[in-house]
Amino acid sequence: MMRLSLSNHSLSCYIRLMQGKDVSQVTEIDQLIFPTMRPAISYHSELQNKLAHYVVACGKEMIAADTGRGEERGGLHGITSWLGGIFRHRHSPEDETAKLRQYIFGFAGLWMMADEAHIINIAVREQYRRQGIGELLLIAMIDLAVEMKARFIVLEARVSNTIAQGLYAKYGFKAVGIRRAYYTDNHEDAVMMSTGDITSDGFKVNLKRLKEIHARMWGVDNYEVAR
**What sign for the dihedral angle of Cα 13, 16, 17, 21?**
negative
168 is catalytic: yes
Domain that residue 214 falls in: 2-218
Give a yes or no: residue 191 inside a domain.
yes
Amino acid at the residue 113:
M
DSSP state of 220: -
> From CA 60, how far away is CA 6, in angstroms rounded?
13
Catalytic residue among 43, 103, 128, 168: 168
Number of alpha carbons in the 13 Å side-chain half-sphere of residue 66: 11
> From CA 23, how far away is CA 46, in angstroms rounded?
10
Catalytic residue among 135, 156, 171, 223: 156
Of 115, 133, 128, nearest in space to 55 by CA: 133
Is the bond into 39 cis (omega within 30 degrees of 0)?
yes
**Element of type H or E holding 201:** helix 201-218
Give a yes or no: residue 226 inside a domain.
no
Give a yes or no: residue 160 inside a domain.
yes
3-class SS letters over 64-130: CHHHCCHHHCCHHHHHHHHHHHHHHHCCCHHHHHHHHHCEEEEEEEEEEECCEEEEEEEEECHHHCC
pLDDT tens, the chain, 227 aa long: 455 544 444 567 889 999 999 999 999 999 998 877 767 789 999 999 999 999 999 986 544 444 444 444 444 344 333 333 333 334 444 455 544 447 999 999 999 999 999 999 999 999 999 999 999 999 999 999 999 999 999 999 999 999 999 999 999 999 999 999 998 888 899 999 999 999 999 999 999 999 999 999 988 888 889 88
Q: Are 18 and 43 in contact, with CB atoms under 8 Å apart?
A: yes
Residue 107: what pLDDT?
98
Give a yes or no: residue 87 inside a domain.
yes
Q: How buried is 192 (Cβ within 10 angstroms: 0-12 exposed, 13-18 middle, 19+ buried)? A: middle
Give a yes or no: residue 225 inside a domain.
no
- CATH code where residue 172 lies: 3.40.630.30
Question: Domains in the chain: how many in total?
Answer: 1
Residue 112: what pLDDT?
97
Give a yes or no: residue 227 inside a domain.
no
Residue 60: what pLDDT?
65
156 is catalytic: yes
Residue 84: what pLDDT?
38
